[in-house]
Amino acid sequence: MKISLLIHNAYGIGGTITTTYNLARSLADRHEVEIISVFRHREAPNLTPDPRITLRPLVDLRTERDHPAQLRPAKVYPASEYRYDQYSELTDERIGACLAGLDADAVIGTRPGLNVHLALQAPERTLRIGQEHLTLDNHSPQLRKALRRAYTRLDALTTVTEADAAAYRRKMRLPGVRVEALPNSVPDPALPPADGNARVVVAAGRLVPVKRYDLLVEAFAQVAARHPEWRLRIYGGGEEQDRLRGLIDGLGLHDNVFLMGSAIPMEAEWVKGSIGAVTSNFEPFGMTIVEAMRCGLPVVATDCPYGPAEIIRDGVDGTLVPVGDRDALAAALLALVGDDERRHRMGRAALENSRRFAPGPVVAQAERLLGDLAEARRAGRPAAPPSRPVSALISGGYAVKDTARVAAGAALRTVRKAGR
């Protein structure tokens, strides 16, 4: 099968880019795969693609930023989509021409605006699959309206959690479109896992308000007061860097908390720690949670919508704490910092349970989906399965078997948050 993946900018850095490369690399074992990048802004991508994968850019910003058509607004790409200002008449033309001439058996879009393009412009003979890397509830009513109109022409839509898949089925009502959760994958680590002995907590991601690194720093102040030998390392860059540095200095934590800058790949940094921390207000999936667990770290994470609760088994391979609760976060960190045996046990469980996010299981689910869609197309029947999803997300010996239960859990968390 020939598979094309359509992405905003394969030459940058980010979770969607990483997971697209991971999926493409795994699919390339048995399929012909290409990544179509709408934009290119540098000679070589930050992430090195597998040599078996073709990388095809459509608009080179180094030479075409001032192209006359680039200065006129897009008409196909939805105006309510987050990146609309970066799209134009030029991208409409290039994406449309690319899709019209596509000889792939399947094309996969990686963000709502691009899913609209492939829904409207990809050839009828090609399987059209949209990916949701955020969540439905994260989108404005205007965007949801635009997606509802276009998405009825997709064969399938994948989300990164069962909870979000349930939300799409319940709220969007896309007859004939298969909606299924397909988690992101993380490659098998090349380094030995962490041994749990280092006195280091590790966090990684963009330094932006939604990640709440200020909450993590404040909680870690309680850890450092009781265990001054422990360190917190935060990897990443972004707009919050100066504010976080001021907070660290103001709390007198300059010997305990360190802003490490970006690290690519992160694997070598995860294995130097003993505990992972994710304190976001919102995580559609939680790639850093999986990365840390795959390196043998138990993760303390906020129980935010939607990803953490579908990755972490609370009390077994990590700990979930209420969103925004500094004291609960500090208590969860202290419980692991102060108990070597517990930390080691949960680290071993994290390593074992996170194997469900290895490329093998995830790509097997993707291939099963592609096969089912192709068979439905040949038989002339709708792509949507029966009301129950064909596959459940297996969670290291436990499963999310009932999307209604997942949605109810998300609703309960929302109620609890409102109560706080």
- Tell me the percentage of the chain whose pLDDT exceeds 90: 86
Superfamily (CATH) of domain 2-181: Glycogen Phosphorylase B; (3.40.50.2000)
Q: Please report which confidence band the pLDDT of residue 418 belongs to, taking 50, 70 and 90 as the band edges.
A: very low
Contact 280, 306 (CB under 8 A): no
CB under 8 Å to 246, separation ≥6 — which residues? none
pLDDT at 385: 61
Q: Where are the domains of the chain?
A: 2-181, 200-356
Q: Provide CATH code, domain 200-356.
A: 3.40.50.2000
> 10 Å Cβ neighbour count for 137?
16
pLDDT at 307: 93
- Average pLDDT (254-258) is 97
Q: Please report which confidence band the pLDDT of residue 264 belongs to, taking 50, 70 and 90 as the band edges.
A: confident
- Give 104-161 pLDDT, tens digit per residue: 999 999 999 999 999 999 999 999 999 999 999 999 999 999 999 999 999 999 999 9
Q: What is residue 209's three-state secondary structure? A: helix
pLDDT at 24: 96
Whether the predicted model's global pTM rises above the 0.75 cut = yes
pLDDT at 213: 98
Q: Which residue has the higher pLDDT, 210 or 409?
A: 210
- Give 72-84 pLDDT, tens digit per residue: 999 999 999 999 9
What is each CA distance from 217 to 232, 253, 325, 335, in whole angstroms? Answer: 8, 9, 13, 17
Contact 188, 216 (CB under 8 A): no
